[in-house]
Each structure stands twice: as structure tokens, then as C-alpha cells.
Amino acid sequence: MIDSDVYRRQGFGQSLAIAPPFGLLVVDFVNGFANPEQFGGANILPAIRNTAILLAEARRRGWVCAFSRIVFADDETDGGVFTQKVPSLLSLKEAEPASEVVDALAPIPGELVVRKTVPSAFFGTNLTPWLVKHGVRSLIVAGATTSGCVRASVVDAMSWGFHPVVLSDCVGDRALGPHDASLFDISQKYGEVMTLRDFMSRPEIHARLNA
């Protein structure tokens, strides 16, 4: 059980401004993570369904949208420490259906797809300059897993100066314990955490559509 009083007394959990321009990052919602027999489980499938609603709204409002995939070379020469810990990730190769973004969230022309071999969607990719080019200030984050690639991407987003907003029902994990603990940790140190409904009800979202 988390002693939240300790965090409050030490000054954690302050609020970040949530303001446009907005961007959306969908982390690793690929077929392999939608499959409980491969890398999925727990609340990932409901999170994908909620993210489909979020993605449609982001597109309607003209927000820039980016997606990440874990993709390893066919000869596996780019496997590193991550795959030493989780060797089965090496099955996620470019031509494998398991590495493709789920159909419900399929990217469209003009949206960025980054391929990565580590947890963070920022590390070793062109995501940061792409978001900067589009003037993104608040980065809305969905994806899987909450305790892994989502958390790593949120930490890097904050480190690059973006204001991360994690929608708790648009992220999922293969187990609820790590999911809940990571959302608490993110809310205390790295970003804002709220539900999709609460986010979409905020006046900042409806102030204007992105140009």
C-alpha cells in the first residue's frame, strides 16, 4: 500500500499546465500486446478501445499523432539488454503481424510511426524533433505497457520539456499491480494522470482547435 502522505509532505505531485498545442503519442498498441497469449493481458484491450475514441477526437481536432512500435532486425543484431531481459521481444520484426499497430488505431498519412528497440519512444528516434516542429506543448499519452514503455516514454517526454498527460483508461498493462503503481508514480513525479472523460471535459481542450 502506498503512503501518499509522505509524497505530499515532501512536495511531490504538483500540477502541470495542460494547454495547447496538443499532441498524441500512442505507445506500442500493436497486435502482440493486444494478445493475452503473447505480450498482453489485464486491461490492455479495454485501453485500446478507449484509445480509439481518443484518436478519433485527436484527429477531429487536428492534433498531431505519433505511434511507436517495437521492431527488431530480421537477424536480431540490434537486440540489446532489453532483449536479454525479455528474449521473446525479438519476435517483433517488421514483417510480423504482431509488431503492427492494431487495426482499430491504424496510422493514417501525415502521422508519425517510430520504430524502437528499447522501452522509450524517444530514445534513438526522431520523435522529439517532430513534436518540436509541430510546436507541441502538452503530450497526451496512451499505450502499453503502463509500467514499461509508457512510463519510460513519459519520463523522456518530461525530460525533453513536454507536459505529459497520461489517460489512465487509455493505458494498460499485463498485470494491474504494476499498472496502478506506475500511474501513481507518474502522477507524483513526471506528468498528469486522469481519465479520458475527465481530460475531454477540461475547458483547455475546447478553447480552440489546433491550427
Which residue numbers are catalytic?
A: 149
User: How far apart (Å, rounded) are the C-alpha atoms in residues 7 and 69?
Assistant: 34
Rama region for 23: left / alpha / beta (φ>0; ψ in -120 to 50; rest)? beta
What are the start-end ranges of the E strands in 86-137? Answer: 112-116
Q: At what angle do helices 176-189 and 151-159 cross, to 10 degrees?
A: 10
Using DSSP, state whether 172 is helix, strand or coil. strand
Neighbours of 107 (CB within 10 A): 15
The values of phi and psi at residue 28, to 5°, are: 55, 30
Q: How far is CA 43 from the centre of its chain?
A: 15
Q: What is the dihedral of CA 73, 141, 154, 160, to 10 degrees?
A: 90
